[in-house]
Amino acid sequence: MPIHEKNLIRPENLSTHENLVIDGVDVSGDWSTFIKTRVVPDYNEEMQEEIAALPGGENIHRCWQCGSCTNSCTVNGLNPDFNPRHWIYLIRMGYESELVRDKDIIWQCVSCNKCTYACPRDVVPEGVMKATAHWLELKGYTERSPSSEFDEEFSSQVFKTGKIEDGRVMMGFFKRTGQPLMQDWLVDMVKKMLRGLPVSWLMKMGMATVIHPRTKNWGPARDAIEEYAREQEEKHAAAVKGAHRDAMFHAAD
């Protein structure tokens, strides 16, 4: 029997006979492709619980492997190796080492949410992908992703002032990720803004970048948000076995 979805199986675990005839029947090529016997020496029996403890991963236990998420996935249409159904299967089985081998593409989820709309079991696969990417960071398998750096810069400004200013968010993101502040697309955008926006708007934007205005009476709200963020950070660290503290979300920084 030929093996479908061969991209889910590591090439080294497949065996194919290019020229094989059995009882007069030619079964060469795909018809003689088999999975080699292998031993998985290590399991993480708590992996599902670890990811379920992170935001977005709460409903992973509901998955029944129908594949609706992968069939509707925008990224899978471009890259067949991006396969939410397969990764949810690995997580639920505790195949940590198998999951980690795909660590460089799991973060590529674009949050289009097609998978979430298609899922008949309310697994929220988009959330599971985000939780899985977060889990990989906490375990130290991946570096902090650019999206994590952006989220942290965005949130830190809200925590400090109760407001965001687009220019400061952008500059902070560039600084965190080591990107140059002067980029061609940014210069072009600024030129268009100078030509198209009223002078009063431009002055307000410039003043906001320099002065960092705060929401009135923001202090109590800021303290409550920072306390909640610390509680969540501790909760996630406790749930994820072997989490690296340096990868945790530091709201107060």
pLDDT tens column, 149-177: 888 899 988 888 888 888 888 889 999 98
Phi-psi region of 78 (alpha: psi -120 to 50; beta: other; left: phi over 0): alpha
Q: State residue 145's pLDDT score.
A: 78
DSSP 159-212: HHHS---HHHHHHHHHHHTT--S--HHHHHHHHHHHHHS-HHHHHHHHHHHHH-
d(CA 157, CA 253): 10
Q: Which of 155, 151, 176 is nearest to 164 (CA)?
A: 155
Q: State residue 10's pLDDT score.
A: 77
Question: What are φ and ψ of residue 25, in 5° steps?
Answer: -105, 125
Residues 24, 30, 35, 36: is their CA dihedral positive or negative?
Answer: positive
d(CA 10, CA 41): 16
Q: State residue 252's pLDDT score.
A: 38
Q: State residue 1's pLDDT score.
A: 38
Tokens of 10: 């590591």
d(CA 109, CA 105): 8
CA angle 215, 216, 218 (to 5 degrees): 70
Q: State residue 60's pLDDT score.
A: 97
CA angle 102, 133, 63 (to 5 degrees): 85
Tokens of 149: 């750096």
Q: Which of 131, 101, 93, 97 is nearest to 7 (CA)?
A: 101
CB atoms within 10 A of CB 30: 12
Enumerate residue ranges in the chain where pLDDT < 50: 1-3, 247-253
Q: State residue 48's pLDDT score.
A: 95
The residue with tokens 């089985």 is 93
Average pLDDT, the chain: 86
d(CA 239, CA 253): 22
Cβ–Cβ under 8 Å, residues 131 and 51: yes
What residue type is 60 in one-letter code?
A: I
DSSP 13-37: GEE--SS-EETTEE--GGGG-EEPP
Q: State residue 246's pLDDT score.
A: 52
Q: State residue 118's pLDDT score.
A: 96
d(CA 83, CA 68): 11
Q: State residue 15's pLDDT score.
A: 85
d(CA 85, CA 57): 14
d(CA 109, CA 176): 21
Q: State residue 253's pLDDT score.
A: 43
